[in-house]
Amino acid sequence: MALALTALLMPSVRAQNLRYDNHREVSVPEYATIRVGPFHSSWVVSATTGYRWINTSGVGTDFLFSGSRGRVKKDGSDFPIILGLDTRNYLIIGPHTDLDLSVSFRYEYYPLDTQESEFRVYLPTEGVTANLSMEMSPTPYLRLRVWDGFGWQADYIDARGLEDRYGGQRFENISNSIGVDGDLLLAERQNLGFGVSRSDRWALDREWEHQNRVIHAGHLLYEYQVAEYATLGLRAGLSHIDYPQTNRPSTLINEYMVQLGTRLTERTTATLFAGYAIGTISGSGSALAGVESDLSTAIYGAGLQTELTPRLTHGISYAHGLRGGYTSALEEFDSLRYTIGWNGDFSRWSAYTGFLIRDPSSTNVPGYSDWTSGVLGEVPLLPYLSLVGSVHYSERSNDAADGVAVDLESRSDYNTWAFKAGPEVRLTDEFNLSAYAEHIERDGEDDALDYTRDIVAVLLTYRHEL
């Protein structure tokens, strides 16, 4: 349901359209470089190798390495070897039916063991994932999409379950989601949408078994295009979260909302939603101290995106909602995010800032807030030479009360800076040479969290499209 809320807040130039119009059309994809009858495909292989040196210092160094936290296992030199395969495959089955399979494989090998070697499948995020979907139109006014997403990945997550490559614990897991979405065009400006799905996640280490889960979800949506530039919708959603291998309580979340997508100007779109969510906690684990039996709250949010110029866009979004928690059964959240980006012929850059507040349903799980900001960019210096860099800042503030037995990361505030910059040289169409220096610094209320890390690397990459 958190993903559903996020989708509502992603402004789109098509925000005023019925969802019925947003299905994939059966046609030959532009990316295809291999064509055999109705089968169209694109394959890209890549290989990267070079040298990397790492040095970590500070009181928190022992906390990092002895606790196996962060992607780096130890300091020193290494010669990483990274192999990749990205493939997109498209099959035209009939005039109104097609199949799309996209999958990426990535293997990272560190022969001197400064970092865990990893096999990952990733699309669209890091890891090993495969995205399979089939579009079909059984009747002229009914469109269906059957989809499946598989993942095998190693996440680095903190005590709250959020990504933290600089100090999170390694969580290797397999996930799979399967579902069906449909849209029935009731009239020229009316659409009835529906969807059901199941998501499974399995930890590969016993210490993470408490995060094994099964989520069943479904939704029903009615949309009415009140004008050429605005669409009004009514949505009801349900999700059930179960942890089959532990005594953690199951969670049922019901959501009811009204949503509006509109084009305010030729270059500006907006999305609004408001409603109510009811969360119910059940099972033997719900009897644990500090766990409420249910939680309900108003849910609301808005998103706005503007195309300032054909190359410069920015957007802002806010949401208040209810979701399943990482350690607690339920949690309310508030999120605010702003992004701005430039995509030129040669240079590209983007900046973001966001604030997140979470209030768990369990009284023995403290709440917290996060503030993250960053800038990423690429600036050409010569036709074949670019400068690539990034700056990232994050700040964690915890609400842990005195006497609450929680881990170090949940009771101490801390912030993290990360700076990375270096040149990238395009040697040929298929060979790139890159070098970078990276500095990471974490500072916490507890000295055990303090550390600095410096990384220097030179890498040669080969990329070939079949």
CATH number at residue 359: 2.40.170
| Residue-wise pLDDT tens digits, 238-262 | 999 999 878 888 999 999 999 999 9
Q: Are 47 and 2 within 8 A, CB to CB? A: no
Q: Which amino acid is at 130?
A: A
Q: Are 387 and 421 within 8 A, CB to CB? A: yes
> How many of the other CB atoms lie within 10 Å of CB of 53?
15
pLDDT of amino acid 130: 58
pLDDT of amino acid 29: 84
**Residues of the chain falling short of pLDDT 50:** 1-14, 124-128, 286-290, 405
| Residue-wise pLDDT tens digits, 61-119 | 988 898 889 999 999 999 999 999 988 889 999 988 999 888 888 899 999 999 988 88
Structural domain count of the chain: 1
Using only C-alpha atoms, the chain has a radius of gyration, in whole angstroms, of: 24
Three-state SS for 243?
coil
Residue with tokens 């160094």: 61
Q: Are 71 and 103 within 8 A, CB to CB? A: no
Boundaries of domain holding 131 = 2-465
pLDDT of amino acid 129: 52
pLDDT of amino acid 119: 81
pLDDT of amino acid 288: 46
pLDDT of amino acid 10: 39
